Amino acid sequence: MVHDKPLTPDQLAAIVARDIPEGAYVNLGIGQPTKVADHLPAGSGVVLHTENGMLNMGPAAVGDDVDPDLTNAGKVPVTELPGASYFHHADSFAMMRGGHLDVCVLGAFQVSATGDLANWHTGAPDAIPAVGGAMDLAIGAKQVFVMMTLFDKKGTAKLVPECTYPLTGVACVSRVYTDVAVFDVGPSGLSVRETFGTTIDELRERLYVPLEAAAG
């Protein structure tokens, strides 16, 4: 499908889902990334991990399927698919930290040109700090995808030369999916994989980071 306008959140989730390899083990962060599950094609063989101790998590539970002993990392009741397994927190985070997950999809406040991630703290002095699994997830997969709008409500870019918010992880993001473009983070900088209702030149005008067109 050709997108000639900025993506809706659902369209963005579908684009991320499209790029997840068949049979991949994937952790979807809380919030927007959760939507990706709804767009995985039948037969994708993708296995969802939730860091509170489960592989092959199913969709959100409704009605009689709600079980207080079965939730995802956002503490929302979920279901179990055949072939699931349960494990404790040390094993679950060992699985992430050890690089066994193929893909992790996270939200972000900011991503830097070198793949630094800021998604846990706005730096506001009166905020109660709370990190959860964010820092473990940031370094916890072979590929870390970020999903976010490219600009905040005031029009400020969230893909930046250097993060101004406190970091979650350093040089950990491999790809950034936004409503107007998808960026690869590589050793030589950012490249634009595709655009939605914009052009690389327009992006160059609005961002303070160097952009290449993706090869191939």
Q: Provide the binding-site residues for another protein, judged by CB under 8 A.
A: 23-25, 30, 45, 47, 49-56, 66-77, 80, 82-90, 92-101, 116, 121, 126-136, 139-140, 166-170
C-alpha R_g of the chain: 17
- What type of residue sits at position 130? A
Looking at beta carbons only, is 6 or 169 nearer to another protein? 169
How many angstroms separate the CA atoms of 204 and 214, rounded? 14
User: 76 or 213, CB closer to another protein?
Assistant: 76
Q: Which of 51, 194, 202, 212 is catalytic?
A: 51
Could you give the CA distance from residue 47 to residue 23 in angstroms, rounded to a whole number? 7
Q: Which is nearer to another protein, 66 or 200 (CB)?
A: 66
Fill in the amino acid letter for 42. A
Shortest CB 61 distance to another protein, Å: 10
End-to-end C-alpha distance for the chain, whole angstroms: 19
Report the nearest approach of another protein to the CB of residue 158 (Å).
Answer: 18
CB of 9 to another protein, least distance (A): 18
Strand 47-50 versus strand 54-60 pairing type: antiparallel
Whether 162 is catalytic: no
Q: What is the separation of C-alpha 157 from the centre of its chain, rounded to a whole number of angstroms?
A: 18
Which residues does the annotation mark as catalytic? 51
